[in-house]
Structure 1
Amino acid sequence: MLNLPANPKQHLIIFTRYPEPGKTKTRLIPALGNLGAANLQREMTEYTIFQVQELQKAIAISVEVRFAGGDLQLMQDWLGLDLVYQSQGEGDLGSRMAQSLFDAFQSGAEKVIIIGTDCPGVNSQILATAFEKLHTFDLVLGPAIDGGYYLIGLRQAIPELFVNIEWGTAQVFQKTVDIAQKLYLSHVNLSPLADVDRPEDLPIWEQALVGEVKG
């Protein structure tokens, strides 16, 4: 069982990777180089954490970072001692997400949301809306324009949503919706947003930074 911070009823899990050059954002290496791609991973994670901290000013949530690569010491040196860190563990993305949800619900959470750090459109307002929707719906999904999803929120662990899915393909979102319907889960979609995965996606990140400066 995890030791979640105070008020774990609403719990947010951030999936990210330690920004080691050559091992992160690999599809962007041709455009940015090993170091540039790792720096983008670093910046996008920090941006996501900033949005989450803004959310924490508005609503009571607990937060944990599930990381791949690196180790606890490296993560703490990077993002500080105020966050709860947990390794993503083994298995495909689905089994790692399912495990993180199981752990959170076991630890007393009642509404749990998972996000990645690839989608700069995920801001504190969207996260607040997602938690709000979980009052009414079993499942909240944030569809990504590439066919995946940038956010999933649940009120209980439902491992079936994470099996027999080809992660990283354009069918992930639709397959998840199909499974939800077979399980008779009530579900709602948030606004579609774009991930930053490929060189042609880089203007999305640049636009987000411009928006931050203006904001």
Structure 2
Amino acid sequence: MAPDAQVVVLVFAKAPIPGKVKTRLMPSLDAKQACDVHVALLERTLAVACRAFSPARVQLWAGLEPTHPTLEALAACHGIARHAQSSGDLGRRMHAALCAQQGPALLIGSDCPVLTPILLARCARALVDHDLVLLPAEDGGYALIGGVRPHCGVFEAIEWGGRDVTAQTLERARALGLHVACPETVWDIDTPRDLERWRNLDDST
């Protein structure tokens, strides 16, 4: 069976706790408003993932407070599985989630408003003839990483949150001899300017 026919999507998201999420949107927004943005982005991301694939192939991987009522409600609403993220830095947590899968997987964050079902499907198809797929973000990070099988090396010695995350990941992938696809460059919501960009995007659709 082709990898794109069995790929699963793992959505990584923090529990919506005011003061703990989307803090770079403050002080333009207060803690509750920033948290509301986080929830809206997560709702959108889960809806997109469930349009791209069946809910049985979508999982919510929760951080901070995995049993938070909002996360439980969203998982139940979409009919998807919910799991707790492991401990450690972001790389260790992502690698652990990918290792928990039986086959190819795409792992995405919850704050990229330009992800679409078509783009997710393209990333899944890329795994037919690539070892790894990335969606680089304009800020130097990435909004998606996926593979036919997890490779621990691509998550090691990465300066998470910096502007060289994608560059460092690609360097690790090359050292491992992995064939990488980068179908598109995207952007996510980190700053007030990003939020305004999202609002303008919604206004134009």
Instruction: Give TM-score, length-normalised by structure 1.
Output: 0.87
Is contact 1:121-1:208 (8 Å) kept? no
Give me the whole-angstrom Cα distance separating, in 2, the residues matched to 1:20 and 1:117: 15
Q: Secondary structure of the residue that 1:151 maps to in structure 2? A: strand
1:1-215 map, 5 Å: 9-56=6-53, 62-72=57-67, 74=69, 75-80=71-76, 82-104=79-101, 108-109=102-103, 111-210=104-203, 214=205
Q: Secondary structure of the residue that 1:170 maps to in structure 2? A: coil
How far off is 1:80 after superposition?
Answer: 2.0
How far off is 1:54 after superposition?
Answer: 1.4
Is contact 1:194-1:204 (8 Å) kept? no
Give me the whole-angstrom Cα distance separating, in 2, the residues matched to 1:181 and 1:78: 38
Instruction: Decide which moves more: 36-45 or 10-19.
Output: 10-19
Residue identity matched to 1:161: V
Is contact 2:105-2:148 (8 Å) kept? yes
Q: Secondary structure of the residue that 1:12 maps to in structure 2? A: strand
How far off is 1:175 after superposition?
Answer: 0.4
The structure 1 segments of at least 4 consecutive aligned residues displaced by more than 6 Å after TM superposition are none
Assess, with a 3 A threshold, how the Cα gap between structure 1 residues 168 and 202 changes in structure 2: closer, same or farther: same
Is contact 1:66-1:88 (8 Å) kept? yes
Paired residues, number: 200
How far off is 1:73 after superposition?
Answer: 5.5
What is the percentage of aligned positions where both structures have the same residue?
A: 30
CA-based RMSD:
1.9
Give me the whole-angstrom Cα distance separating, in 2, the residues matched to 1:191 and 1:9: 22
Is contact 1:22-1:35 (8 Å) kept? yes
Instruction: Give TM-score, length-normalised by structure 2.
Output: 0.91
Structure 2: runs of 5 or more not aligned:
none
Give me the whole-angstrom Cα distance separating, in 2, the residues matched to 1:47 and 1:121: 10
